Structure 1
Amino acid sequence: MNPPTVKFISESFIKPKYSSEESKKPVYLAPWDLMMLSVHYIQKGLLFPKPPGFNDDENSFEDLLQKLKDSLSVTLVHFFPLAGRLATLQQDEPPLYTIYIDCANSPGARFIQASLNLSVSDILSPTDVPPVVQSFFDHDRAINHDGHTESLLTIQVTELIDGIFIGCSINHVVADGSSFWHFFNAWSEVFKAKGENNLTISRPPIHKHWFPEGHDPILNLPFTHHDQFTSRHDSPLMRERVFHFSAASLAKIKAKANSECNTTKISTLQALSAHIWRCVTRARGFLPDQNTSCRLAINNRTRLNPPLPADYFGNCIQTVKATTTAGNLLKNGLGWAAWQLHQTVINHTDKMVLEWVDSWQQTHFIYQLGQFFDTSSIMMGSSPRFDMYGNEFGLGKALAIRSGYANKFDGKVSLYPGIEGGVSMDLEICLQPHFMTALESDQEFTDTV
């Protein structure tokens, strides 16, 4: 018997409740936005339990959907780029090829109603994340350049037997992880205001994009057709698991890393990343002279001088990496590996950021998923600092965070806060099946999970 599949019931498009003068103007994109044109959308969502008595009232789900739509419309007043579409301005003389967000000519954000004849336990109980979770999100396998014709934001609400999944897909040209959860938090805030006709939110987004001093905000790309800078990438067959690290376990990992280096400067995240890097490298069985890297997604907002506001809406991220051989990584221990990551992070200064931007102005590099990441590395993405479990939509606290197909490959690790709060974390790890089996048998790894 075939497993149940997601049934799509309806779709609609949601526009901002009111339009502002700012929302009628083009939004020009910064280098960090444009380099995302060929990678996938961000797909993250929350699984909620149905409140007691929810199924007894046949109007409960319809009422919830309407409240979600109404509050989304109000939220989009502030986050109006999410209701737009990408557009390309191209001309031959003088040569011009620029991509921007057109907020005025769009049907709005997409809203999908769906259902699945499975329970919450069917989603959370299996060892591996079930493949059906990928169907909780729109824009499956879409790349960001598709935002010329596809919505830049889709909310998909999937009703389960005893739960509701709210999946959010946002075009990665428009937002990074910080901006993604900024929007999600604001939407929850508006929802909890119970439909009050109040357009104020506690953290209004800042839409003025950052450009280095002396640079034109209308970036002329050296292309004549999008085939010159876009590509599609399908991940190999992988297993995906979510591993929980308690606050006590993380404290031990951090203490061990700092003790081995006789320092107190190594952070919890740096120590944990080093731990995962070493365990995955051992599980992959590399020869001692095989090069391996640990990449970290890093927020540039606080690294620029002067820093950008925390509520800057757009992309303001890069990746930094530490590289060594498998032999050195495993021989020198946790503290040594964590210190390499610590040095990589602290050396990512305003000077380094500006040098990268200057370099990008010469190369106009666009990330290609199939080329940018390699099977000898790991990539640590997302952040446990994002407020994920604080989002409520009349359903109480979420039970779990899950993601879609997007931007996954062998060695991708996404960091989420643990449901109990504190400094606990959940790690979503993607590995090829034989590597995952080896990781599950790794004593150093299992002792910490």
Structure 2
Amino acid sequence: MPSPPMVRVVSSSTVKPPPRPRERIPLTSWDASMLSSNYIQKGLLFHRPTSCSPVNVADHLAAALGDALVHYYPIAGRFATEQHRDEHTGAVVGCSVHVDCAGQGVEVVHAVADGVTMADVLPRDADVPRGVLAQFFQLTDAVNYGGQEQPLFAVQVTDLADGVFVGFAYNHALSDGTAFWDFVNYWAALARARLGLAAPKPSFERWSPDGGAAGPAVLPCADVSELIERAPPLQLRERMLHFSAESLEALKERAREELLAAGDTAGAAALTKFQALSSLLWRCITRARRLAPEQETTCRAAINNRARLRPQLPQDYFGNTIYAIGTDSTRAADLLERGHGWAAAAVGRAVAAHTDASIRARVAAWTARPMVYTHRFFDPTGTMMGSSPRFDMYGCDFGWGSPVAARSGMANKFDGKTSLYPGREGAGSIDAELTLSPDNMAALEEDDEFWAAVTPDAPVPVPAPEKKAT
């Protein structure tokens, strides 16, 4: 296999917000637990704008980013660590991390991928070209704790032969995907209309279980670096799979009929398309792995806590407020024998059990025994559903139309990880970015049940006529 083309960096600059009073924002339990994870790496592919050169595209985005950082100034900060000492003995009992909002800046890189086309990035009915996409992102090997020296956000604008790829590398300890995509859409709105747009300001006040001011999460170490682990390199394959609204509805209906036949009317009534899709992936990945019949497996999913807390957190809450929930463990043989409906209902029970009380119990348990997530937390026999089809990825119009596709980098990938994206055509469709070992992916490609639900790839859409500036 030929080596992927090299990307040439043309320029690099640092974008800073206007000067403002220095501020410290503490990382709470939800944030601090992400310090050993990789940066979020998500990117958007666009048709090439016909009204401006590639250099102007990068300059246009950098100028609008400076506008966005007026309100989203923590993104331009860095992390700083503070030691906590026993007030009697002076011994170090722990440390905490906060965002030092001193306007250190974010990085914007302009690059060129010689000879690479949009079709190379979006091959039809084929693996995601990991080697090519890896070159479209900054900070690929960075862990979130590195935000002490490295920027919390870095953008790479890569000029293709017939398009532009905008890759985002974003520190996950700063916030979750909901807040990240809110920021990107705000930035895109300012890119369209610069400062002529009135947009809501984000809320940087961190949540506290008692409703008061949030204090920093104290980790049980003298230096956070003691808790940081880097995941070993893995041999993986990725597929970006499309599920139309009709296909998802058919999956949901099949699960509903199975549950009704089994007498589970409550489970049938509560079914969602997310449950049905999670069931399909969980069961088919388990079959592809050829697990021993007695091997236990679970299906886990990243879930947003905002609307589940009482009182609810506002949508504009800026920070991490996600947990990974999971089904009860089940034997691989039972999962496959009990069928699609049973697995979908098991996912539904896990979602329903994630209430205000369960969230607060997990926060209390973390406070009693603080930890950070590392690669050891990923279950090699389970599946993990990440990201969300609710994120407004295709609303990110920076001034030359909607993205053609959303893709990600190499970070935070492991066997059994699936990230969900909205389908480009909307209407409830979903794209699933599935990562498996080469052997497991080869086995999945022979699974008739799985591929019967996947909607065939569509060609790269032809751009609409570009709007003229008024």
TM-score, normalization by structure 1: 0.94
Calculate percent identity across the aligned residue pairs: 43
Report the more deviating stretch, 62-71 or 26-35: 62-71
Aligned partners of 2:244 and 2:428 also within 8 Å = yes
Q: For 2:270, which of 265, 270, 289 is the aligned residue?
A: 265
Deviation at 1:339, TM superposition (A): 0.6
| Structure 1 residues 19-418: aligned runs within 5 Å | 19-21=19-21, 24-51=22-49, 53=50, 60-90=53-83, 92=85, 93=90, 95=92, 97-104=95-102, 106-117=103-114, 118-125=116-123, 127-130=126-129, 131-193=131-193, 195=194, 197-198=195-196, 200-201=198-199, 203-213=200-210, 217-262=215-260, 263-322=268-327, 323-369=329-375, 371-418=376-423
Gaps of 5+ in 2: 261-267, 455-470
What's 1:5 paired with? 6
Please provide the CA RMSD for this pair.
Answer: 1.5
CA distance in 1: counterparts of 2:214 and 2:250, whole angstroms: 49
Provide, for residues 11-42 of structure 1, a one-character-per-residue CA deviation record: whole Å limited to 9, x for no partner: 111111x3444xx2101111100000000000
Structure 1 CA distance, aligned partners of 2:365 and 2:396?
Answer: 39
Distance in structure 1 (CA, Å) of the matches to 2:204 and 2:84: 27
Q: Distance in 1 between matches of 2:225 and 2:65?
A: 34
In 1, Cα distance between equivalents of 2:297 and 2:180: 30
Q: Which shifted more, 164-173 or 210-219?
A: 210-219
SS at match of 1:248: helix
In structure 2, relative to structure 1, the CA distance for the partners of 1:154 and 1:115 (3 Å cut) is same
Instruction: Say if 1:199 and 1:103 are closer, same or farther in 2 by CA, change over 3 A.
Output: farther
Q: Distance in 2 between matches of 1:436 and 1:385?
A: 27
Aligned counterparts of 2:216 and 2:406: Cα–Cα separation in 1: 37
Cα distance per residue 1:377-397 (max 9 Å; x no partner): 110000001100111122322
Q: 1:199 to 1:107 in 2, by over 3 A?
A: farther
User: Which letter does structure 2 place at the counterpart of 1:286?
Assistant: L
In structure 1, distance between residues paired with 2:278 and 2:396: 27
Q: What CA distance in whole angstroms lies between the structure 1 residues aligned with 2:330 and 2:271? A: 19
SS in 2 for 1:78: coil
Count of matched residue positions in the alignment of Structure 1 and Structure 2: 436
Aligned partners of 2:397, 2:278: CA distance in 1, in Å?
30
**Distance in 2 separating the partners of 1:387 and 1:245:** 17
Q: Does the residue aligned with 1:354 lie in a helix, a strand or coil?
A: helix
Q: Give the Å deviation of 1:91.
A: 5.6
- Taking the aligned partners of 2:344 and 2:120, their CA distance within structure 1 comes to 37
One-letter code of the match for 2:438? P
Deviations 1:306-341, CA, capped at 9 Å, x for gaps? 010111011000000112111110000011001111
Q: Secondary structure at the match of 2:203?
A: coil
Instruction: Return the alpha-carbon distance in structure 1 between the equivalents of residues 396 and 216 of structure 2.
Output: 36
Distance 2:275 2:445 in 1: 22
Normalised by the size of structure 2, how large is the TM-score?
A: 0.90
Aligned counterparts of 2:236 and 2:57: Cα–Cα separation in 1: 35
How much does 1:2 deviate?
4.3
Pair 1:3–1:320, CA change in 2 (3 A): closer
Gap runs ≥5 in structure 1: none
Q: CA deviation at 1:286?
A: 1.0
- Cα deviation code 1:177-212 (max 9, x no counterpart): 10110111101111111x3x44731x3211100011
Q: CA deviation at 1:60?
A: 1.6
Equivalents in 2 of 1:3, 1:256: separation in Å? 42
Q: Deviations over 1:52-97 (max 9, x none)?
A: x45xxxx622222221111100101111111000001126526352
Q: Secondary structure, in 3 states, of the residue corresponding to 2:70?
A: helix
Question: Is the Cα contact below 8 Å between 2:188 and 2:399 reproduced in 1?
Answer: no
Distance 1:248 1:220 in 2: 48
SS in 2 for 1:343: helix
In 2: Cα distance, 1:393 partner to 1:27 partner? 29
Cα distance in 2, alignment partners of residues 215 and 191 from structure 1: 34
User: How much has 1:216 moved relative to structure 2?
Assistant: 5.6
Structure 1 residues 248 and 91, CA gap change in structure 2 (3 angstroms): closer
Q: Distance in 1 between matches of 2:218 and 2:290?
A: 45
In 1, distance between residues paired with 2:354 and 2:330? 18
The CA distance in 2 between the partners of 1:379 and 1:387, in whole Å, is 21
Segment of structure 1 superposing worse, 5-14 or 299-308: 5-14
Separation (CA, whole Å) in 2 of partners of 1:216 and 1:401? 35
